[in-house]
Amino acid sequence: MLNPVSASGAFEVTLGIKTARAWRIAACLVVLLGAANSNGPAFAQEAHERPALRVGEVLAGSPAWAEWSRRYLRPSGRVVDTGTNVSHSEGQGYGMLLAVAAGDRRAFNRIWGWTRDNLAVRTDNLLAWRWDPMARRTADNNNATDGDILVAWALAEAADLWNDADYATAGGRIATDIARFLIVDTAGAGSVLLPARFGFASSDQPDGPVVNLSYWIFPAFARLNQLAPDPAWARVVDSGLAIVDALQAGKTDNVSNWTGLGDRQVAPARRFPAVRGYDAARIPLYLAFFPRDNADRLARFARMFPPGAKGLPIANLRTGDIEEMATGRGYRALAALRACAVAGQPMPRDFYWLGEHDAYYPATLHMFALIAALMTRADCMDPVEARHLQPRGPVLRFAGDLSRFGPVRVASQPLPAPAATPAAAHERVSPIEADNVGSHGLFNVAAPLGAALALAGFLAASRRSRTPAFLADPTPPVLRERSPAPRNLPENPFHATCGERALEQRLDIAAKASWEWQRTAAVAYLRLANYGDMVVADGVAAAHQMAANVVAKLAGCVRKSDHVTLLAQNEIVVCLSLIADEVDLYSVGRRLTAAVRSVDPGIGDEENIFGLALYPASDGSGALCLAEARGVFEALHPIRPVEAAVEKPAPAKRPAYAKTARRTKAKTKAEIST
């Protein structure tokens, strides 16, 4: 049998992808030309003042978002830290950003609504950082600066994606109070971020102010500057990079979770454990959003991610000991992202899927590693895997490419103080919206022109690529683990099945393995209609032998990667791998029908007698696939109950052994009556 994916087919798919990329590059060149002639104040293009990255819809339709939200997001909008079952502003901000990245506005509104209702309990516009599910209220009303930044960043992204000024207004209030209360000037380090409004200033700590470098969320600051324009944002970026450089200047990597800046010194904070661990792991993640600028800094994080480590080593910087190894695929994803940014190393196989048992924190870091890679280092990613993560990315992300190459504009006037009344707050126009209203020039022409070029590129790629129809949908969320089977499937994924439940699980495995070829699994279901008649007429042994003959015939005409199973006495299931689409599956059904007809010519004259079902492309499972195949069979071939077959009038000629069986049955009834 020919290889399921021919060389010419693979060439066409590759050519289609390259064509789409060419159209996108051409459109971006148009935007670059427009940017050179555009008017108005633009964000300065220096190292510390970068254009704002556009996160919206970078994971549109991605199964990674479906899996993350299934695990950690409650219907109320509460993001749950699975380690403690509490919720905090950091988790709510991460959830809001991931919802924007997925283009899931309903989920975003749920998360933002819960955050607003439960954490916005302070007199300022900052958020209480911790919510206790047992007490059903906030357990600590102090804020956490990283949570405030993440929420404000998410609101800015949502305002940009869905053109909603209310999001920008809310985010602007939070950003304004971050700049007002949490950015402080120091003698040695410049403007720095306090981790919270209370407890970390010079008056609170002997080596204060104490900072947490993982709260420097570098990709967020350009967005916060749009919401609340202030030169302090650029100074904060500079101070964060300077502190990282100072800690990495010595022979020993001293980047710790908590850093004291008192007495013009930069060192691990005295009153905090001198540990490089869970918090510090986020520093290279945020630096990797601009990997080309920060490659040298990322290279100096080698001690945090030693080669071959199974997780994140939690190191005591005073003793040099490794206190524990934080396991989780999310930490290995950070290591892979850093290796890509530093040395261009390809992403490993397990980078593209969340770990089966990862807790909230490593899984969330994993999601942001995926976003950073897709936005800044796609050259390290496998193109097929990237397509799984971004099934609708080439079309939905095109507007993001436009804004990324063009200058990011900011409001010319500072953000006004928060309005005293809700009505006034509702009427305020956000900086992002005001900028959109005031934009003129070639960009207004370039946007629709770019959209037209994108559509043409998409159509060209679609015509050249023969991608199966079911691949238009994202990878089924149930397939969250990549199959260990090689691409050519040398081992049959259906072997050693015993019972319907095992068969359903094997279908899941086969679907994962088939996805390597951009194919799926399928089921061909057959119920032997004359099985009951044969039991009555010829006995159970003869009926069973007939079913065994059908199974043997079918097994002789399927591929090595397929399997024929006698699920019940009269139910035959053919499990199929590497099925391209419905046309391919129906062709297999006709071939299987011909094989059955060679054993039992009386099955009918239909081209296909099987109930056929592809493994569902959305929210799929082996159980659903098998159930659908059964349903299709019953709709096409209604089967009489076995009782009706027993009452069927006897044919004119009946074999002698059948008459003997009937006399024996009557004699037994007579003896019982007597």
Contact of 286 with 217, CB cutoff 8 Å: yes
Encoded tokens for 203: 């008056």
The active-site residue out of 57, 67, 90, 562 is: 90
Contact of 191 with 183, CB cutoff 8 Å: yes
Beta-carbon neighbour count of residue 166 at 10 Å? 15
* SS3 per residue for 226-255: HHCCCCHHHHHHHHHHHHHHHHCCCCCCCC
Type of residue found at 46: E
Task: Kindly calculate the radius of gyration of the chain based on its CA atoms and give it in whole angstroms.
Answer: 32
Encoded tokens for 544: 């069973």
Contact of 164 with 158, CB cutoff 8 Å: yes
Contact of 362 with 326, CB cutoff 8 Å: yes
Cα dist. 198→144, 192, 202, 356 in Å?
Answer: 10, 15, 11, 38
**Among this protein's residues, is 634 annotated catalytic?**
no
User: Which candidate, 487, 528, 537, places its Cα nearest to that of 611?
Assistant: 528
| 439 torsion bin: left (phi>0), alpha (psi -120 to 50), beta (else) | beta
Encoded tokens for 183: 């950015």
Coil vs helix vs strand at 190: strand
In sequence order, what are the residues at sequence separation of 6 or more whose Cβ sits closer than 8 angstroms to the Cβ of residue 228?
172, 175, 176, 178, 179, 414, 415, 431
**Sign, Cα dihedral of 74, 78, 79, 80:** negative
Cα dist. 478→366, 417, 507 in Å?
Answer: 18, 48, 12
Secondary-structure percent of the chain, ordered helix, strand, coil, rounded to 5: 50, 10, 40
Contact of 608 with 593, CB cutoff 8 Å: yes
The active-site residue out of 49, 146, 160, 628 is: 146
User: What is the CA 171 to chain-centroid distance, rounded?
Assistant: 25
**Among this protein's residues, is 90 annotated catalytic?**
yes
Encoded tokens for 652: 């004119």
Coil vs helix vs strand at 49: strand
Contact of 92 with 152, CB cutoff 8 Å: no
E-assigned strand segments in 299-384 = 311-316, 322-327
User: Which candidate, 268, 274, 221, places its Cα nearest to that of 243?
Assistant: 268
User: Which candidate, 270, 286, 279, 329, places its Cα nearest to that of 304?
Assistant: 279
User: Which candidate, 221, 229, 172, 233, places its Cα nearest to that of 428?
Assistant: 172
Residues that are catalytic = 90, 146
